[in-house]
Each structure stands twice: as C-alpha cells, then as structure tokens.
Chain A
C-alpha cells in the first residue's frame, strides 16, 4: 500500500470503527426503554374512584388526604361537589382523612361518598359546628 503512513493509519482506524460499531450495537445489552405498557402497568394498580362530598351547610372548604398526600382540595359554593380520583384500592380498603370547615356556626353534617369501580357507593358522615376532621375508612363489603 502506497501513501503516507498517517493516511494509512487513519484509513485502518476508520475501517475498524466501521466494523466494530455495528458489532457492538448487536452484541451489547441495552435496558429496555420505559414503554407505554410499563407505565400503564404501574398505573394499573390505581383505579378511578368517584367521590362526592355533600354538606348541609355551604359554601364550605375541604381537603381529602390519602396516605399523607392531599388528593382533593377546594371550595364548594353548592351543597355537593364531585370528582373522579385515581387511587390504589386494595382489598383491605383505604383510609381517607377528611377536613372541612365553613363560616356559619351551625350543626352540620358532611358526607363523603366513595365509589370504586364495580362496587356500590360507600358513605361516611362527620358532624361539626364550624369544622370537621377525621379518618374515614372505606372497604368493599
């Protein structure tokens, strides 16, 4: 082979790279990228739970907590407010912490109704004069 030794060296390296790169790609282990299915599997442990909050006094402010995290919070100017919330709902049931308050000093009942898929609605009621706050347990019968 004629020509500069430097040019020959560059050509040899280029030829090696051309062979080695596809070889490495074929033989090396790659972590599977997180596919939409994997995300869906993680999300599948959660179900959509329909919640309805009803108060005999309104307007009222409220906060619903699950496993230490606020999952639903707001103000309602009507007696009822509803929301669909994704939650894991094991056979053992769930505990929700409901806190609510209102301006008028009045004996008030606040009902939280929870409906997981394929289940009848389950309701728990708290009573208070200006506020309520307690842990409510919901488990399928």
Chain B
C-alpha cells in the first residue's frame, strides 16, 4: 500500500489549498484521510475530485469547543465551533490510529494481519511518547502550567496535561486580537506571574512585543500549533517533543 501525504511538514493547514497535482493524487486514491472537525475548508474540492471514501479521522474523536473568531467563516452555534487541533493529545492520536487501522482493514481485508501488527507497533510508540510527555510536564509545578500562546490551538494539550490556556488571538493566524483582549491578557499575565508566552511564526509581532514589554514575560519560543514542522519536528513524535520541551523549559 502506498501512502502519500498531501500537506507536507511545515505547511499551515489553515492556509493550504490543494493544487491540481494534489487533486490528481486524490483522484487516484482508494481512501482519502482528512483531519476532520472542519479543519479542511477545501473539503468540497476533495469530494469533487474523487469517488473514493473520505474518512474524517478527527470526527471519530471527542471534541472540545472553541470560539470561532469574528472573521471566521466556519459554521458554529453561538460563535462556538469544534476545535480541530485534536492531535496535541497523544491519547487522541492513539484513538485515531485505531480508526485508520479499522478503515484500512475494511478496504483490504487480506492484509488485516499486517495492518494490525503495524498499528500495534505504532500504538506502543505512542504509549512511550505519552509517558515521555507526562514525565516532562511533571517537571513543571501544576500552579505554573499557564499557557499563553499566539494561536488558540492547544486546548486538547491543556486538557490532557493539566494546563490552563489563554490565546492572544482566536481561531486562526488571520484573526487579529482586539485591544481589549490584549489589555485583559496583560493584566492576567501580570496577576498570575506567567514567565513566558509563546509565539507562532508568521504572526504580527507587534501584539506579542507589546505584551512582553508590558508584562516582563519573555518569549518562550516558537511552537508548532497546526501540524508537523521541519527538521526534528517533521515527525509527530518530534513535533510533540519540540512543543513540550519548549513549553516546560520556558515556564520553569
């Protein structure tokens, strides 16, 4: 079985649009896997390009809600939508592995044993990764686990590993923070003694500069909120380890 990743490491899935070459690959596929939870704004283009099944993996996982943001054109009730960033919980990725395994077995039952063996191997790696994350996070006192980021993408991470979270901006990097929100954040960072805030590359640095200047909090480093990064962060395990190490070491 040949597997092709259409969105390459380092590409922001909020901004990605499929190219004709991508859609040609989708056309030839027997199964198309998407992240789901409304992350793919281009879902209709995929559906037009193929008659194959499209499995929205994230739709089979528990959901957290988040504000849609004033500029968001995504559907939502009372301004709330499903948070699509489910992969920041290793437990969710373990569940996703089982969803994909079962779908592959349905597609090609003759290779069931191989799919099961590969899934078992990967699940063991994920269990080890989850243990590493928990031990690394345990180095940080629970009262210091306050995460201020420039992109509201870490709710599943916070829920899983005992952080409280404040986003400088809303759903996507395109949404600018309001002056009132920034002012409230500055007060909150001062009151709670937050030592570091985390910036996303490519965002307007003025807002975060103002916050670091006003509060004395340092910039904790760049995180990968929307998927794989580059170099060591080009794998799921590498991306998680980069994010966790950056967060814990900066907040200590």
Contact = CB atoms under 8 A, between A and B. Distances in A.
B139 A67 contact: yes
A93 B138 contact: no
Interface stretch (A6-14, A84-92, A116-124): A84-92
A65 B145 CA distance: 18
Contacts of B131: 133-135
A134 B131 CA distance: 7
Interface in B125-150: 131, 134-135, 137-143, 145
Interface string A60-98: 000001011000000000000000000010111111110
A103 interface: no
A44 interface: no
A135 B135 contact: yes
B13 interface: no
Nearest to A92: B142
B173 interface: no
B141 A88 contact: yes
Contacts of B162: 92, 95, 137
Contacts, number: 38
Nearest to B142: A92
B138 A95 contact: yes
A90 B138 contact: no
Contacts of B140: 67
A97 B143 CA distance: 17
Nearest to A65: B138
Contact of A68 (B139, B142, B145): B139
A94 B142 contact: yes
Interface string A93-134: 111110000000000000000000000000000000000011
A67 B138 contact: yes
21 contacts: A67-B138, A67-B139, A67-B140, A67-B141, A88-B141, A90-B142, A91-B143, A92-B143, A94-B141, A94-B142, A95-B138, A95-B142, A95-B162, A96-B138, A97-B135, A97-B138, A133-B131, A134-B131, A134-B134, A135-B135, A139-B142
